[in-house]
């Protein structure tokens, strides 16, 4: 096996900084709302795909609402563990925030079996019953549908990152979120994922 030759960037902070510079310069050619630029940079970086910038949408003064909600500390609900693990621990500690995922909890599993629903849906019920008001979705459309049902029935929610991914229900759940009146940042259509949702949350954390 031949030795790797030539220069390549080894410093993680330098790699990230150079990536962000490239993305920021290129996004100058895209019609991205100024309030979403920092979010778009991190989402594009997470997906290595500039087309994601065109799918971002903010509803109901979402950025200001998110900054206000996050500045108060508390719990951030994550629909899956991958999303929870992708959120910056350092930023959460700075703001007295705790990202949680209940999907593997025994009581959530039992509630899902009793109710004939997905564990993602049951985990939303647990979060609402515990008073959580900040929600992030990067995987499960059923969880976002359940949140919207609970809001319709009177649950209070401060802010939502809505980026579930897939071909069954993902686009529809986000379309309903966009029309719900809840302050939210979402990706239109079937595209999304835990990495993109975590990137969005991390961008918002750094704005606070």
pLDDT tens-place string over residues 186-207? 999 999 999 999 999 999 999 9
Q: How many CB atoms lie within 10 A of CB 42?
A: 21
On whether residue 14 sits in a domain, the answer given is no
**Could you give the percent of the chain with pLDDT greater than 90?**
84
Q: How many CB atoms lie within 10 A of CB 151?
A: 18
SS3 label, residue 54? helix
pLDDT tens-place string over residues 136-149? 999 999 999 999 99
Active-site residue, selected from the candidate residues 45, 59, 146, 174: 45
Alpha carbons 115 and 24: distance in angstroms, whole number? 46
On whether residue 34 sits in a domain, the answer given is no
pLDDT of 5 above 70: no
On whether residue 36 sits in a domain, the answer given is no
pLDDT of 208 above 90: yes
pLDDT of 68 above 60: yes
Q: What is the CATH number of the domain that holds 188?
A: 3.40.50.10230
Domain count, the chain: 1
pLDDT of 76 above 80: yes
Range of 177's domain? 55-207
Q: How confident is the prediction for the chain on average, in pLDDT?
A: 93
Q: Are 139 and 78 in contact (CB under 8 A)?
A: no
Residue 45 is a catalytic residue: yes
On whether residue 17 sits in a domain, the answer given is no
In this prediction, residue 19 carries a pLDDT of 87
């Amino acid at each position: 096996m031949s030795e790797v030759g030539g220069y390549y960037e080894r410093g993680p902070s330098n790699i990230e900084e150079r990536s962000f510079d490239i993305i920021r310069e290129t996004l100058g050619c895209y019609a991205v709302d100024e309030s979403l630029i920092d979010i778009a940079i991190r989402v594009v970086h997470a997906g290595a795909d500039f087309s994601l910038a065109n799918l971002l949408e903010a509803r109901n003064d979402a950025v200001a609402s998110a900054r206000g909600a996050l500045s108060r500390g508390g719990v951030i609900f994550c629909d899956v563990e991958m999303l929870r693990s992708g959120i910056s621990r350092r930023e959460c500690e700075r703001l007295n925030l705790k990202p949680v995922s209940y999907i593997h909890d025994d009581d959530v599993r039992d509630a899902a079996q009793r109710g004939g629903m997905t564990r993602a849906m049951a985990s939303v019920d647990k979060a609402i019953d515990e008073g959580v008001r900040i929600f992030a979705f990067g995987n499960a459309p059923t969880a976002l549908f359940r949140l919207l049902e609970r809001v319709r029935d009177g649950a209070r929610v401060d802010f939502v990152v809505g980026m579930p991914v897939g071909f069954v229900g993902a686009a529809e759940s986000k379309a309903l979120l966009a029309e719900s009146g809840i302050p939210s940042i979402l990706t239109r259509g079937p595209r999304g994922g835990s990495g993109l949702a975590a990137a969005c949350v991390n961008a918002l954390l750094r704005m606070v």
